[in-house]
Structure 1
């Protein structure tokens, strides 16, 4: 029985689709909750490898460990794999950043305390959502006037598409890494052959030089 049986047996179909949806979500690294302890001086960063055309939404908040001096302010900077700044702000205690990836690779979010803040201990709670986890399904349901089984099927379709795209991305990365490995092996093989050739030529030159030397000395 599949999801298409929702018209005849909606309760069983909804349960089955929900189980499949949860299973698919477990296969996707879509939500990352991180707790960062910021040093008095220095930067703490968190990175995530993301493929292109993926929506990223993150909420962060500062929690002070020294309640006597209040909540410290921090600076936040998010950069793409090629070093482009996607988000940068200073003197904040809470905030949110969102963007759609255009490059494949590690996206870096860095946090550090502002220099004028005297509070020693501080932590940052970061809720990092990627892909379908960052999508506002309540807004989608209100806009398209869908609910129940239809909404669950829409979520299931989005999860399936995300997994398919992720598998294609991993396949492309594997092919790229295999190509790099093959090129490296070919270069190592040519280098080995050249090294062997150089050794043979040097050995022949040494023998010729020794022969000339001994002939001049009339030893042979």
Structure 2
């Protein structure tokens, strides 16, 4: 019984690490930072960020001024822009994927006049799937009991796992198609190479035969 509980906790931790990621990075004037997230289709993604301005006097970072803005641009696997918006120095962006695959999330300052040569530290937290849902807010809006909310969470987790499995099959199919296409190209190249060698050999034989006939050796 204890082993089952331990395994359940480990599984939940692994799923949490898979569907959420938090980090911070430094960004300079006109610099652009992009991140790639592999997301299944029809999946909610929420990103929370906070900007801090470098303080040359202390060498640390302090809360940025309200005028500092962050431009968020998101492209889908077909390189189509699905979100392009300017936010404040601290905020949240949300989008739902329509196509499975690698989504590119780019952040950069909307202007450079507030930098004065300083750097920004941007804290970014990206949550995918049911981890992006605020279940506390859902419980208040829909007036759910604790048991009903837990069932809702489990249903969302099952749905997200189904999407992940479908995405895994989609990637496997794409990989198989790429492998078959590569194998066909290698086969065609080998056939073409063999045909060229046979033609070169035939041409050399005719050339030698003409040479020997001209010298009256045959």
CA contact (8 A) 2:51 2:121 kept: yes
Residues 76-123 of structure 1: CA deviation (Å, up to 9, x unaligned): 322222232233334731222111111122222222232323142211
Q: What is the DSSP-based 3-state SS (H/G/I as helix, E as strand, rest coil) of the residue aligned with 2:103?
A: strand
| In 1: Cα distance, 2:31 partner to 2:143 partner | 49
Task: Name the residue aligned to 2:163.
Answer: 165
Q: 1:176 to 1:108 in 2, by over 3 A?
A: closer
The alignment yields a C-alpha RMSD, in angstroms, of 2.8
Q: 1:55 to 1:191 in 2, by over 3 A?
A: same
Deviation at 1:25, TM superposition (A): 5.7
Deviation at 1:126, TM superposition (A): 1.0
State which of 25, 31, 53 in structure 1 corresponds to 2:20.
31
Task: Name the residue aligned to 2:106.
Answer: 110
Out of 184-193 and 81-90, give the one that drifted further: 81-90
CA contact (8 A) 2:27 2:33 kept: yes
| In 1: Cα distance, 2:45 partner to 2:70 partner | 21
| In 1: Cα distance, 2:97 partner to 2:214 partner | 75
Give the TM-score normalised by the residue count of structure 2.
Answer: 0.81
Residues 41-100 of structure 1: CA deviation (Å, up to 9, x unaligned): 421112211111001111111111127695444433222222322333347312221111
State which of 179, 182, 187 in structure 2 corresponds to 1:181.
179
Task: Name the residue aligned to 1:87.
Answer: 83
| In 2: Cα distance, 1:142 partner to 1:116 partner | 42
CA contact (8 A) 1:25 1:159 kept: no
| In 2: Cα distance, 1:25 partner to 1:55 partner | 20
Figure out how many residues of one structure are paired with residues of the other and give that number. Answer: 207
Task: Name the residue aligned to 1:12.
Answer: none
Deviation at 1:159, TM superposition (A): 1.1
Structure 1 residue ranges without an equivalent (≥5): 2-14
Structure 2 residue ranges without an equivalent (≥5): none
| In 2: Cα distance, 1:67 partner to 1:85 partner | 36
